Amino acid sequence: MNDEVEVVCPSCSPKMSVLHDVLKTGQNTIVQCQECGNVHPAKFEKPKTFNIKVIISKGDQSFTQMTKMTSEDNLSVDDEIIVDDGESDEVYPVLVTALECADKRPKIANAADINTIWGRAIDEVVVKIAIHRGKTTEALQKRVPGGYEFIVGKEEEVDRTKIRVKKIKVRDGSLESRTGTAVEAKFIKRIFAEEAVKRSWGEGRTAWSMKGRGRSW
């Protein structure tokens, strides 16, 4: 089976790339258009490589790494990338939070235009949880993998405390409160919860209350 490439066809598509079969590789590559069957030589420009600075926040700390991208790469805010530090062999899964291009911060950019990538490490994240107990609120934290899902209505254990998720504040500003809605930890700004108290049988019942139901001890 021949390799396929996307290049312009001088016969049927001189401005837009279309699929071609590669008939001959090497210095003078020959391809055949899948649209019209035209056989013609094709030139491929070698993509340029850029070393781009990445500022990674992890918890309360930030540190700088470098990543390699090519002129064929486009990057968007909320994309996930892997930043590989060749010196220490550390690998960081990162969620892109901002792109810095000269004096602009676009939502999407080509690697050739990017000066700095800002991101959050999502290998492990610390999720902040607010537990309401009557008129008081207790702040707890839970460290989980970035892909861990919290589900509205589901119980979790935090520092030996059983809680039930009531609402999830997402980093994009939305608030999820419908039972069964799942949000990955890397996107969560805060969780609002209540303590999940399970009463055993007979708890809170007295002889007087049982007599009221026609029973006695």
- Convert the pLDDT of each residue in 130-164 to its tens digit: 998 877 888 999 999 999 999 999 999 998 889 99
- How does pLDDT run across 83-105, given as a tens digit for each residue? 986 666 678 899 999 999 988 99
Q: What percent of the chain has pLDDT over 70?
A: 88
User: Residue 39 pLDDT more than 80?
Assistant: yes
- How does pLDDT run across 58-74, given as a tens digit for each residue? 878 899 999 999 988 99
pLDDT for the residue numbered 137: 87
User: Residue 199 pLDDT more than 80?
Assistant: no
pLDDT for the residue numbered 86: 64
Q: Say how far residue 191 (Cα) sits from the centre of its chain.
A: 18
What is the rounded (10 degree) CA torsion for 202, 207, 208, 211? 90
Q: State pTM to two decimals.
A: 0.62
User: Residue 116 pLDDT more than 90?
Assistant: yes
pLDDT for the residue numbered 2: 64
Amino acid identity at 28: N
